[in-house]
Amino acid sequence: MAKAKTATAVKSGGQNKVPTKPILKPVKVTKEFVHNGKPFVMIMAGGSGTRLWPLSRVNRPKQLINIAGKRTLIEEAVERARLLTTPDRIYIGTNKDLAAKIQKIVKLDKKQYLIEPAARNTAPIIAYFTSYLKQHGADDQSGAVILAADHHIGQAEQWAETVKLALARAGERIWCIGIKPTRAETGYGYIEAGIEVAPRMSAISSFREKPDYQTANHYLTTERHFWNSGMFIFSLGRIREDYRIYQGEMLKLADLSAQNPANLAKNFPKMQNISVDYAIMEKTKKVGLIQADFSWDDVGSFDALSRIYPADATGNHVISGNIISHRAKGNIIKTNLTIALLGLENCVLVEDNGVLLVAKREALGDIKELREKAPKELL
């Protein structure tokens, strides 16, 4: 499952006709679903992280590895979610294979794992999340937060306060957290801010796809362009109304899927494979931007490690390993070995489980092609 940020899939024509409102018959409302001001949180954890090979493998994608501390990225995401709500309101959306691995390190009840029977991008799993909550008695005023399992966020308390600002107005708009660009990044989607509605909060003028370098460099000079972090905040009533208008068939299938496991296996794979950005965000007028005041990185490549780990006295970014360095700088190193560097600049040296990656940082865009040449047992 791809994470929720500006997608690259082919756009759908959408549905502009408002369909008949899907009917859900909630089961008996339990304490955890009673509206009490605490939001429901879903952490999407289905990505593979191929650009971090060999650290990230098929059986251990990046959300299950330790990047910037003693905990895995998924554990860090759950800890952040606990700043917003109680553990019983935290859900993880993923596939069956990854769920079994995540459950070993994240101690949540099994019913809090929303298992996709088929990979369908982000719009279907978010629709299913809202249907699941409604099926169990959550009301339209309940706040909901969508997070990704592979983000590195500094200043967690400030992050939580930003989310709470959006939750206070969650019935008005679907709020997207925007990150002020710090570089001409061509790998992210962008949000263009519109009319201000409150301090740090505005309408959204447009979503911009991954730009070329010249355009990304221009965005650095404006005050209105932000990276699309893929974090969303809304009330159940707000998001479901937009699904009814723009993705009525998907919502109908999501409601059917939420009724029992057999329905999930039958109906979820029928949903369109599309990101929530294309399915909802770029269509609705009820969408807003809230500006982040914390550091953020989606840990999408090894270059992210140079931002998380500042250069040391030798000029290198050392995540682990013993380094002997002379006239060497700008290198990213993660290994259990002692590495002697002489005259080497702007390279990546990453060792994991029998594989040593040595690459020029400028060539990291081709790492997927390199990975495809590796034997299956090393993927």
Q: Determine the Cα–Cα distance for residues 77 and 67; give it in Å rounded to an integer.
A: 13
Whether the per-residue pLDDT at 309 is higher than 60: the answer is yes
Q: How confident is the model at residue 15 (pLDDT cuts 50, 70, 90)?
A: very low
Q: Determine the Cα–Cα distance for residues 122 and 9; give it in Å rounded to an integer.
A: 11
Is there a domain that residue 4 lies in?
no
Is there a domain that residue 106 lies in?
yes
pLDDT for the residue 4: 41
- The boundaries of the domain holding residue 320 are 303-378
Whether the per-residue pLDDT at 237 is higher than 80: the answer is yes
Residues 171 and 207 in one domain: yes
Residues 325 and 369 in one domain: yes
pLDDT for the residue 5: 41
Is there a domain that residue 352 lies in?
yes
Last-in-domain residue among 268, 297, 326:
297
Is there a domain that residue 183 lies in?
yes
Measured CA distances, 7 to 240, 277, 339, 350 (Å)? 21, 7, 39, 29
Residues 86 and 177 in one domain: yes
Residues 245 and 327 in one domain: no
Averaged pLDDT of the chain: 90
Least reliable range by pLDDT among 63-77, 224-238, 318-332, 354-368:
63-77
Q: Parallel, antiparallel, or unpaired for β 40-44 and 143-148?
A: parallel
Is there a domain that residue 21 lies in?
no
Measured CA distances, 267 to 22, 40, 239, 260 (Å)? 14, 24, 20, 11
Helical packing angle, 122-135 and 236-246, nearest 10°: 130
Q: Determine the Cα–Cα distance for residues 271 and 256; give it in Å rounded to an integer.
A: 11
> What type of residue sits at position 152?
H
Whether the per-residue pLDDT at 151 is higher than 50: the answer is yes
Of the candidates 149, 52, 38, the residue with the CA atom closest to the CA atom of residue 92: 149
Last-in-domain residue among 262, 297, 332:
297
Centre a 10 Å sphere on the Cβ of residue 148 and count the other Cβ atoms it contains.
24
Whether the per-residue pLDDT at 11 is higher than 60: the answer is no
pLDDT for the residue 29: 59
Q: Parallel, antiparallel, or unpaired for β 332-342 and 317-326?
A: parallel
Q: What is the pLDDT of residues 43-64, one digit of tens each?
A: 999 877 788 999 998 888 888 9
Using CA atoms of 328, 330, 331, 334 in order, give the dihedral in degrees to the nearest 10. Answer: 120
Residues 372 and 284 in one domain: no
Is there a domain that residue 6 lies in?
no
In this prediction, what percent of the chain has a pLDDT beyond 70? 90
pLDDT for the residue 7: 37
Residues 147 and 247 in one domain: yes
What average pLDDT does range 311-328 have in this prediction? 94
Q: How confident is the model at residue 30 (pLDDT cuts 50, 70, 90)?
A: low
Residues 193 and 125 in one domain: yes
CB–CB of 350/305 below 8 Å? no
In this prediction, what percent of the chain has a pLDDT beyond 90? 77
177 membership: H or E segment, kind and range: strand 174-179
Residues 115 and 255 in one domain: yes
Contacts of 300 (CB under 8 A, 6+ apart): 51, 150, 187
Last-in-domain residue among 297, 312, 346:
297
Burial 158-172 (b: 16+ CB within 10 A, else e): ebbebbebbbebbee
Whether the per-residue pLDDT at 316 is higher than 80: the answer is yes
Is pTM beyond 0.75? Reply is yes
CATH number of the domain that residue 254 is part of: 3.90.550.10
For residue 167, the number of C-alpha atoms closer than 13 Å in the C-beta half-sphere is: 19
Residues 293 and 338 in one domain: no
Centre a 10 Å sphere on the Cβ of residue 15 and count the other Cβ atoms it contains.
17
Length of the chain: 379
What average pLDDT does range 214-234 have in this prediction? 96
Using CA atoms of 165, 168, 171, 174 in order, give the dihedral in degrees to the nearest 10. Answer: 10
What average pLDDT does range 235-247 have in this prediction? 97
Choose the most confident range, by mean pLDDT, from 96-100, 183-187, 246-250: 246-250
Residues 235 and 185 in one domain: yes
Q: How many domains does the chain have?
A: 2
Is there a domain that residue 2 lies in?
no
Residues 187 and 220 in one domain: yes
Q: Parallel, antiparallel, or unpaired for β 355-360 and 347-352?
A: antiparallel
Is there a domain that residue 19 lies in?
no
Residues 321 and 191 in one domain: no
